[in-house]
Structure 1
Amino acid sequence: MDIPKLQLQTTRGQIGLTIQQPQQLIQQPKAELDLQQPQAKMTINTTQSLLSIDTTEARADLDLKSSRRRTVEVADYSIQEALNGLARVSQEGDNLMKIENGGNPIVEHAKRRGRQPYTSINIKFIPSQGNVKIDFQPAEVEINVEPQKVINNTKINKPIHQYTPGKVSVDLIQQPSLKIDWLI
């Protein structure tokens, strides 16, 4: 006996994928750099140094005296010599007044006046040490520095970003099919 048979014939479906890759473009422009550094403000204040040299006594040792000082010295010397002369004359008068006490006062007075006083020869260094007076006041320096802040006008540029998304296209390359047949 013949039994009918069912015969199935299938064709698979095939799909095709068309893929378009995504594209991404990223660019980073350089920053625009604008930095400025102003000069610091500086002030310098100085007081002058003071040097004083007093050579009055050293010049006097060299006999280079001012007219005022020389006048004072001559006046003092004259007064002293006048007083010495008065004392000498007064003493001689006293000696002559007391001639009765003995001795020969006139001869003694003549011997004293006729004798030159001895002078010693010495080496003298002029000007003598310590006669020059030196006074020095050093200068004072005051420095003030005021730093200035940096001026920063830097501009940051944003990145350039372009993105194209990808696409996937699905195509049916082969249609699926099913064929059913009866075989007797």
Structure 2
Amino acid sequence: MNIPQIRMQSTFAQIGIETSRGEMQIQQRHADMQMEQPMAKLMIDRRPPRLTIDQTRAFEDANLKSVFRMTEDAAQAGYQQAMNTIARISQEGDELMMIEHGFSALHSQAERNSLPPMADINIGWIPSHNSVKINYDPGETRINWKTRPVNIEVTPNKPVINYYPGKTNINLAQKNTLNIDFEI
């Protein structure tokens, strides 16, 4: 027995989608910057320290004098000795003038002039106390400076943006079909 048959063949429709991605490029240049730092002004005013040591008196006490000082001292000692001798002779003359008062001037003068004077003994090469004069001036240092501000100029650069939008293409890649066959 033959049964009628219907055959159906179908294909579905297919959609084709093509996409290209969007692209974005951003370039940011560094900001243009100009910086200037003027030098600070530094001024130093200085008076150096000074140390003075005067050993003249210590050398004189040790009898290490200059020729001029030794000559001056010898002249002064000679003058003083001459004045002392004049005073002694004048005093002895005055004593002899007063002989009428019963004073035995000759006896006392002979006794005084016959005895040697007491010698002054001293160590001459040791300087006396505080014979070295020390003077110290610490000096002075004055520092003065003037700072100057930093000059900064900044020019920002805008970013460069390139944008390429994405695309989507939709098409019909395959049509739908329906085939119907039948047999009797």
One fold, TM greater than 0.5? yes
Please say if 1:98 is aligned against 2:101. Answer: yes
Q: What is residue 125 of structure 1 aligned with on the other side?
A: 125
CA-to-aligned-CA distance 1:129-152 (integer Å, 9 cap, x gap)? 212322222111011232333333
List runs of 5+ in structure 1 lacking aligned partners.
1-7
SS state at 1:97 partner: helix
Percent identity between the aligned chains? 29
Q: What is residue 19 of structure 2 aligned with on the other side?
A: 19
Instruction: Check the 8 A contact 2:92/2:109 in 1, yes or no.
Output: no
How far is the alpha carbon of 1:46 from its aligned partner? 1.4
Instruction: Check the 8 A contact 1:12/1:177 in 2, yes or no.
Output: yes
CA distance in 2, matches of 1:121, 1:81: 22
How far is the alpha carbon of 1:164 from its aligned partner? 0.2
Q: What's the RMSD between the two structures over aligned residues? A: 4.2
How far is the alpha carbon of 1:24 from its aligned partner? 1.6
List runs of 5+ in structure 2 lacking aligned partners.
1-7
CA distance in 1, matches of 2:174, 2:142: 98
Alignment of 1:166-181 (within 5 A): 166-175=166-175
> Are residues 73 and 152 of structure 1, via their aligned partners in 2, closer, same or farther at CA, if it must alter by over 3 Å?
farther
Q: Give the TM-score taking structure 1 as reference length.
A: 0.65
CA-to-aligned-CA distance 1:25-56 (integer Å, 9 cap, x gap)? 22333455544433321110112434444556
How many corresponding residue pairs? 174
Please say if 1:87 is aligned against 2:91. Answer: yes
Instruction: Please tell me the residue identity of whatever aligns with 1:113.
Output: N
Q: What is residue 109 of structure 2 aligned with on the other side?
A: 109
